[in-house]
Structure 1
Amino acid sequence: MTAVMQGVRVLEVAEHTFVPAASALLADWGAEVVKIEHVERGDAMRGLASTGTASVSSDVHVLFEHSNRGKRSLALDLASPEGLDILYALAAKSDIFVTNKLAGVRRKLKIDVEDIRAHNPRIIYVRGSGQGERGPDGDRGSYDMLGFWARAGIGAGVQGAEPGPVPSPPGPGFGDSIGAMAIAGGMMGALFHRERTGEGTVVDVSLLGTGLWSMGHALALSLQLGVPFTAPSASSLWANPLVGNYRTRDGRWLAFCCLQAGRYWASLCEAIGRPGAAADPRFADHHSIMANNEDAIELLREAFEERTVDEWRARLEGFTGPWSVVQNIAEAGADPQTAPNGYVQTCRTAAGVPFQVAAAPVQFDGEPAAPERAPEFNEHGDAILAGLGFGWDAITDLKLRGIVA
């Protein structure tokens, strides 16, 4: 794998997933990332013991690993003048400063744009926020289930027209991880711009903005038509019978997205054991299928309910139309395409305990990036300080006074 970020230095003052996952991606691609953690408790994510219905193992905190692999950790008291001076010294040697602290907190800690730029005018300053820097809620915090999922219309979009509770996000850090890709792209674009012009820019990415971009098609349609876009419910009849989901005998689902219904109808009829339906005049071509979609859907529903999902995997193997089993995330991790493409990578903790994480979704030169483990709390503190010119006596003094861990 070509380490496209090799030689880039990133300084991070951030917690949880949204922003840290972005610098973790740059670390996967070769960047040196120094993570500044709270001097006593560290990143709040370290203390997260459960999420949703799942408990976090005491052997490997895989949620923290996802967002912090490959980084170096320094626990620093940013509320002290000495701690702030250390941060400024690191900023002077960094290419990127990235944070998810609120604007008021940034000003209080003296880590806002002008504070960092005073020590490195060319540094790229990156802000991750809930709702954006401007507007009435610019200084309000958020989480991905709020800014990305609820506020940006994704939860309601998943809910559709069906009454009842709004579905929760499908996994922890869902919007955070998507937003992190946007931040990573912004950082790389800013580096390219600085390489061309010498100018360091300010990069802003929010959970709300990322959510709206993810709903971009629905947003454009809603604004054009003046009504909210509503996705078809599970019980709705589709215009195209070959675009939708069908239940199997064992309660699983098959998903089809054959936009050219006439092209794939005959071969699908053969695969499901209904060859006579290919000659039925109601389904003679694409327009006929669409005109008789209720009959076609009922035929397909009856057929798919006759066999289990595993039987359909075998019978549909030769079907050339676009289709997939609706898999759970454990199945997706074991998908026959996952391992050959390196989409899941194995790491080991400092104690040698193996664990698996999702790989960076962007690959260079045909090879997946191999992530390294996340740092232990303040694991690299002494080495980072020594790199700034602190001797052992000075480091010990900082420890005794609680400036560093």
Structure 2
Amino acid sequence: MGKPLEGIKVVEVAMWAFVPACGGMLADLGADVIKIEPPTGDPLRGLQIGNMNSGSGRNIDYSWESYNRGKRSITLDLKQAAGREVLMKLLEDADVFLTNLLLPARRSMQIDAEAIRARFPKIIYAVGSALGPNGPEMEKGGYDSITFWARGGIASSLTDEGADHPVSPPGPAFGDTLSGSMLTGAICAAIAKRAMTGEPSEVDVSLLGTAMWSMQRYICQATADGVDKFPKPPADKPNNVLVGAYRTADDRFVSLCMLQADKYWAPLMHVAGRPDLADDPRFVNAKARREHGDACYAEVKAMFASRTIAEWREILRQQDGQWDVVQNVGELKDDVQAQANGYVKHVDYGDGTTIPMVGVPMLFDKQAMTSTRSPELGAHSDAILESLGYDEDAIIDLKVQGVVF
């Protein structure tokens, strides 16, 4: 099966996670993604966050592997004219120029949108920005923890009133990967537009914009109501006791999302062995359950605490209400649906071993996309230069000049 973006060439001048994650997704979808790195490499290479590799027995940077999968790497010093000349040769038959360098840096290197599209009018110029291409802070940089998570309203919406610190992101590059997925979608739309109309686009997706898209329900309501934030409802006073998480006997959690509570209340109580709660006049419908909220919540909480997570799995499968288990990240590799759909796979690492990788969540004709590992720094420099017409002496000269590593 061919991949949907086979034949598309992407030249990436980017670092860290947001835009490289987009490039990695495009590579998984079949595009030829050539990553241009400075001679010192993308600073994400080898970045250690905490002590993430302890216990694994292998010193593998999974951030690097995840966001740079399937690419080819060439090192170029774009501050030098000779480096920019190589870039221009790469762009001659490219479909997409992908970058997250700040606008002042792009201008100084003469690789801003105006300069690139003046020379290559059919190219799609795609930018992952912090705050968007317009406005007084358009040239400001950002990271997902500050621009997406903090400025985008997510941290404050998750944080309890009076907390010492706002809630932190659940993992590295959380906002980066979501924003990178948005940028991938925008690029694919621009490719389709150019194919249908012949018109190229200048594309921008920002960390702030993606955060606001994710938080749109609250943002719209707050704007309409003229409030700054909505109080976080206390977990022990749910409006609907069939929406929320409950602790089990073995200190795990079951998460319920039975929005049509009257439809599911009685069937759930019967399969759980509590027909008395189904028939209790205090809990017979949503109005009654709200009026006796404390008592109802206490009963349901105690009911779930009486059995283990394994027991609840079997019980809840017997009814039609929506539920799931709160899983740990280490359990996802064993999730039967993750396995069946190729969401977790093992990729050849090139040394006789494999590494785990999460697949792009896009299946075509029910088939998951294959992946290959990320490139070593400058692994394809010579081959790419040769394909552009540089002979051995010219390549050596570029290396002597420090243009190519």
TM over 0.5: yes
What secondary structure sits across from 2:126 in the alignment? strand
Counterpart secondary structure, 2:10: strand
Q: Which residue of 2 aligns with 1:349?
A: 349
Q: Aligned-pair distance for 1:53?
A: 5.0
Report what 1:108 is aligned to.
108
* Partner in structure 2 of residue 399 of structure 1: 399
**Where does 1:45-56 land on structure 2 (aligned, <5 Å)?**
45-48=44-47, 50-52=48-50, 54-55=52-53
Query: How far apart in 2 are the matches of 1:61 and 1:325?
Result: 29
State how 1:42-121 maps to structure 2 within 5 Å: 42-48=41-47, 50-52=48-50, 54-55=52-53, 59-121=59-121
394-403 vs 371-380, which moves further: 394-403
Distance (whole Å) between structure 2 residues aligned to residue 88 and residue 336 of structure 1? 47
Residue identity in the other structure for 1:64: W
- Contact 1:60/1:349 (8 A) holds in 2: no
The aligned counterpart of 1:171 is: 171
Q: Which residue of 1 aligns with 2:128?
A: 128
Tell me the residue number matched to 1:181: 181
Kindly state the Cα deviation for residue 325 of structure 1 after the two structures are TM-superposed. Answer: 1.2
Whole-Å separation in 1 of the counterparts to 2:170 and 2:233: 17
Secondary structure at the counterpart of residue 11 of structure 1: strand
Q: How much does 1:116 deviate?
A: 1.3
Task: Tell me how large the CA RMSD over aligned residues is.
Answer: 1.7
Cα deviation, 1:8-34, whole Å, max 9, x if unaligned, reads 000000011100111111111110000
Indicate if the aligned counterparts of 1:161 and 1:233 stay in contact, CA closer than 8 A: no
CA distance in 2, matches of 1:104, 1:47: 27
Matched-pair contact (CA < 8 Å) for 2:53–2:60:
no
Give the drift of 1:234: 5.0
Aligned residue in 2 for 1:6: 6
> Aligned AA for 1:204?
D
Contact 1:149/1:175, CA 8 A, preserved across alignment? yes
Q: Secondary structure at the match of 1:339?
A: helix
Structure 2: distance between partners of 1:231 and 1:204: 33
Paired residues for 1:265-284 under 5 Å = 265-284=265-284
- Cα deviations by residue, 1:15-70 (Å, 9 ceiling, x for unpaired): 1110011111111111000000011x21111130x224524875422111111111
**Does the aligned pair in 1 maintain the 2:222–2:229 contact within 8 Å?**
yes
Q: How far is the alpha carbon of 1:294 from its aligned partner?
A: 2.6
CA distance in 2, matches of 1:293, 1:363: 43
TM-score normalised by structure 2 residue count: 0.95
What amino acid sits opposite 1:186 in the alignment?
Answer: A
Equivalence map 1:323-402=2 (5 Å): 323-402=323-402
**Which stretch shows the higher mean deviation, 51-60 or 372-381?**
51-60
Q: Which moved more, 1:209-218 or 1:227-236?
A: 227-236
2:305 corresponds to 1:316: no
Contact 1:2 1:364 in 2 (8 A): no
Is the partner of 1:43 in helix, strand or coil? coil
Deviation readout 1:299-329 (Å, 9 max, x if unpaired): 1011111222233223322232101111121
1:221–1:229 contact (8 Å) kept in structure 2: no
Query: Residue 167 of structure 2 aligns to which amino acid in structure 1?
Result: P
For residue 92 of structure 1, what is the amino acid of its counterpart? Answer: E
1:231 is displaced (CA, Å) by: 5.8
Whether contact under 8 Å (2:158, 2:232) holds in the other structure is: no
SS in 1 for 2:33: strand
Residue identity opposite 1:247 in structure 2? R
Q: Distance in 2 between matches of 1:65 and 1:352?
A: 17
User: What one-letter code is carried by the residue in structure 1 that aligns with 2:44?
Assistant: M
Structure 1 residue aligned with 2:159: 159
CA distance in 2, matches of 1:51, 1:320: 42
Alpha-carbon distance, 1:160 to partner: 3.9
Alpha-carbon contact 2:125-2:202 (below 8 Å) kept: yes
Superposed displacement of residue 295, structure 1: 2.2
Q: Structure 2: how far apart are the matches of 1:357 and 1:236?
A: 38
User: Residues 326, 55 of structure 1: CA spacing in aligned structure 2 closer, same or farther, 3 A cutoff?
Assistant: same
Counterparts of 1:126-275 in structure 2, within 5 Å, are 126-161=126-161, 163-230=163-230, 232-233=232-233, 235-275=235-275
DSSP 3-state at the match of 1:287: helix
Provide the identity percentage: 41
Q: What amino acid sits opposite 2:43 in the alignment?
A: A
Conserved 8 A contact 2:53-2:59: no
Read off the aligned partner of 1:131 and give its amino acid letter. L
Give SS of 1:87's match: helix
CA distance in 1, matches of 2:278, 2:170: 38
Q: Secondary structure at the match of 1:338?
A: helix
Q: Which amino acid aligns with 1:47?
A: G
Number of matched residues? 403
Distance 1:92 1:72 in 2: 17
Q: 1: CA distance between counterparts of 2:353 and 2:187?
A: 32
Of 363-372 and 301-310, deviating more is 301-310
Once residues 108 and 55 of structure 1 are traced to their aligned partners in structure 2, the CA distance between those partners, rounded to angstroms, is 38
- The answer as to whether partners of 2:46 and 2:61 remain within 8 angstroms in 1 is no
Does the CA-based 8 Å contact 1:161-1:230 persist in structure 2?
Answer: no
Deviation at 1:291, TM superposition (A): 3.4
Asked if 2 retains the 8 angstrom alpha-carbon contact of 1:59 and 1:353, the reply is no
Distance 1:157 1:2, change over 3 A: farther
Counterpart contact for 1:35–1:74, Cα < 8 Å:
yes
- Long gaps (5+) in structure 2: none
Instruction: Name the aligned partner's letter for residue 45 of structure 1.
Output: L
Gaps of 5+ in 1: none
